[in-house]
Chains A and B, each alone.
Chain A
Amino acid sequence: MKINLTANYLLLGDRSIDSIHVDAVEVTLKDLVRIISGRSTTSDNLEYLNSEGTALQPIFEVMINGCPLSLCEKGIHTVLKDGDNVSLYLDLPYGG
């Protein structure tokens, strides 16, 4: 399946991608960020998940089809479908 991606950083460390093909029938957001992290060439230690693997690090703002992850009922266990749009933004400072 193909997941469309938007990000404000280089998703693969040295380059960005606007979509990713996943060879699986079903993939969750948690799986997706692990796949992206695994394919990264230079930021292979980028931690998307907290140490327990139960939530994304708060520095990431994630939306699935325009819906904030916080409002997705299953959170990081939300199942993605073919053609879904996932936005990943680094949410750094506040105030302008």
Chain B
Amino acid sequence: MCLAIPAKVVELFPGERSRALVEVTGVRRHIDIGLLEDDPPLAGDWVLVHVGFAMSKISEEQALDQLNTLIMLGENEAALQEVQGYGLGEPSLGET
């Protein structure tokens, strides 16, 4: 719950302002970007995600730093498990 997970925005959906498809180390899931409504991310941007919600926009460099921090903290697997858990019951998006 307290993990901040860096994710890359892959796809936005016209008419659905609060949903985005993101990718975290190859796993794609939908997250909510409603808390960034004042400065919404674009496809290709990086965000920090808490409990399925993007909380802040970050640079790619910061995202890689944060990923590295998660690995050093031994939390990268927990982070991936969390991301895989987003979208309970959603149709599978196919993982690469």
Is the pairing of A and B real? no
